[in-house]
Structure 1
Amino acid sequence: MFRIGEFSKLTQVSVRMLRYYDESGLLKPERTDPFTGYRMYSAAQIPVLNRIVYLRDSGFGVAEILTALESGRDAFIIEQLDKKYEEITGRIAEEHKKLEKITLARRELLHGCKMHYNVSIRSIPSCQVLSLRKVIPTYYAEGELWEELASFAARNKIAVSGQTFSIYHDQEYKENNVDVEICAYVEKPVESSGAIAYRTVEAVPFMACTMVYGPFSNIAGAYLNLARWLQENSRFKMTGQSRQIVHRGPWNEESEENYLTEIQIPTEQRVR
């Protein structure tokens, strides 16, 4: 048996933390001397302490550690570790988004909105597409839809022309649960299956279009420019669902600076 100080040296865990683990019920001493009150620990408790430490360092709280220890099953602990991994990964992704927004804000404050986005009105003809429409958690999950559509086309030997675009069906910007439809031009009719459908996308006589060069973070500036353009050209008003075409993106460009995205907003001429 070891006194708390000796146990602390052997395990490289401070006396303060050992006392905390005792008070929180995570690791009680093997016994407490009834006369001196000394906490006494055994070598058999070292593996339990090691488990407490790595769970703590993995981000587990006291209640979570206690639940894991009481389960007595390694499989349960591995499952909890996997959940914690996903939770931390999600938080890291959110922090990366914040860093991107900080970078964009600094750029605008330091240099102003110097990027020029040319807006043009084009007539977009109708087209036949293979489409997949779903409500997804966020816009960042759109890539999963493209993977699903590409997998379906490959399995069914469907020839697509390479031209693709996204339609955003929500009438407002939403941070979560966004209604997105992805579309790929097809050369001949195909049979629909579940959420994947062969359909005709209607023509748009007046589509306000602008090209966005560089990282996807530049898209916010493009929408700002579109807002200014619509205000200056008041004979047009927004209508219908906006579209987005990524002409060059992560799949065919190594550098974000070479990305090319087209934003399309349906409009109609106001009646005078």
Structure 2
Amino acid sequence: MFKIGEFSKLTQVSIRMLRYYDETGLLKPAKIDKFTNYRLYSTEQISTLNKIIFLRDLGFNVSEIAVALNHWDNKFITNQLENKRLEIENMIKSEQDKLSKIELAKKDIRQEKIAIHYNVSIKYIPSYQVFSLRRTVPDYYAEGQLWKEMSAFADKNDIPVSSNTFTIYHDTDYREKDVDIEICAPVARMGENMNGFVYRNTESVPIMACTMVYGKFENIAGAYLAFANWLQEHNQYRMTGQNRQIVHRGPWNEESPDKYLTEIQISLEKI
């Protein structure tokens, strides 16, 4: 048996960390001397400590390490390592996105463009005869999969649809997950509903505020902030109904994201 100081020297792990592993239950002393209350460790515990350090250095937290220690076999650990790799890759991507936004913000400040102005116009939106697909999807980025599904279904069933498509967002608030989205493609004639695809007439909107967003889809958030300022200045209106979006130029017809063109439509009513 080794006292905690001796065990610390042999394993090159600080006393502070050994005490921490004791408190968290990852590595409790093999024995506590009943007269001195000294923590005593055995040579057999060095293997467990090495596993803890190995996983800690790979980014595993205490609870994850505890699970790994209790299920230590090659297959389980390999799966845990793969999950951690994917987690770290996502974290790296998220941090890289932040770095890109910082560089863009610095550029905007240098060019005095930090306050982006969007022109808001009011127009009447008539009812459209559409072929539509409405689903609750994991997030807003999943909308692209709906368009792929509609395109494939239309091709397979020889359904002629217009390229003047638009999206209706049925939620009354912004959602981080479980988003209620309906994609719509105008059609010349109605057909039979099938497999979740529906023919219907969309609602007309007497007062629709519209603004064009140029560039990457990330710029859309700025358009909504600009609209908030516009709405505050034009307090004779208030938001009502569902928002819509039209991507006039996107990944399918424009190579450069800087040249994308998206129209944001927000339904209003006069107070």
| TM bracket (short chain) | 0.5 to 0.7
Q: Kindly indicate whether the alpha-carbon contact (under 8 Å) linking 1:170 and 1:178 is maintained by their aligned counterparts in 2.
A: yes
Unaligned runs of 5+ in 2: 1-11, 27-41, 44-50
Q: Residue in 1 aligned with 2:216? A: 215
Deviation, 1:55, is 6.8
**Pair 1:116–1:65, CA change in 2 (3 A):** closer
198-207 or 217-226, which deviates more: 217-226
Q: Kindly indicate whether the alpha-carbon contact (under 8 Å) linking 1:113 and 1:221 is maintained by their aligned counterparts in 2.
A: no
Deviations 1:212-259 (A, max 9, x none): 111222223322332333333333332211111111122322222111
Deviations 1:13-53 (A, max 9, x none): x999xxx9xx9xx9xxxxxxxxxxxx99xxxxxxxxxx999
Deviation, 1:203, is 1.1
- Report the aligned-residue RMSD: 4.3
Q: Residue in 2 aligned with 1:144? A: 145
Aligned residue for 1:161, secondary structure, equals coil
Q: Residue in 2 aligned with 1:91? A: 91
Q: Residue in 1 aligned with 2:123? A: 122
**Pair 1:54–1:238, CA change in 2 (3 A):** same
CA distance in 2, matches of 1:219, 1:64: 38
Any residues of structure 2 matched to 1:179-198 within 5 Å, and which? 179-198=180-199
CA distance in 1, matches of 2:243, 2:152: 26
Q: Residue in 2 aligned with 1:171? A: 172
Deviation, 1:160, is 1.9
Any residues of structure 2 matched to 1:34-113 within 5 Å, and which? 59-60=59-60, 64=64, 75-103=75-103, 105-107=105-107, 109-110=109-110, 111-113=112-114
**Pair 1:151–1:88, CA change in 2 (3 A):** farther
CA distance in 2, matches of 1:229, 1:56: 51
Q: Residue in 1 aligned with 2:156? A: 155
CA distance in 2, matches of 1:146, 1:265: 21
CA distance in 2, matches of 1:187, 1:52: 66
Aligned residue for 2:80, secondary structure, equals helix
Aligned residue for 2:206, secondary structure, equals strand
Unaligned runs of 5+ in 1: 1-13, 27-38, 41-50
Deviation, 1:100, is 4.8
Q: Kindly indicate whether the alpha-carbon contact (under 8 Å) linking 2:105 and 2:114 is maintained by their aligned counterparts in 1.
A: no
TM-score scaled by length of structure 1: 0.68
TM-score scaled by length of structure 2: 0.68
CA distance in 2, matches of 1:55, 1:155: 51
**Pair 1:192–1:69, CA change in 2 (3 A):** farther
CA distance in 2, matches of 1:250, 1:240: 28
Aligned residue for 2:167, secondary structure, equals strand
Deviation, 1:118, is 2.0
Deviation, 1:67, is 5.7
Q: Kindly indicate whether the alpha-carbon contact (under 8 Å) linking 1:104 and 1:217 is maintained by their aligned counterparts in 2.
A: no
- What percent of counterpart residues are identical? 54
Query: Match of 2:215, as an amino acid?
Result: G
Would you say how many aligned residue pairs link Structure 1 and Structure 2? 253
CA distance in 2, matches of 1:206, 1:90: 42
Aligned residue for 1:188, secondary structure, equals coil
Deviation, 1:209, is 0.8
Query: Match of 1:230, as an amino acid?
Result: L
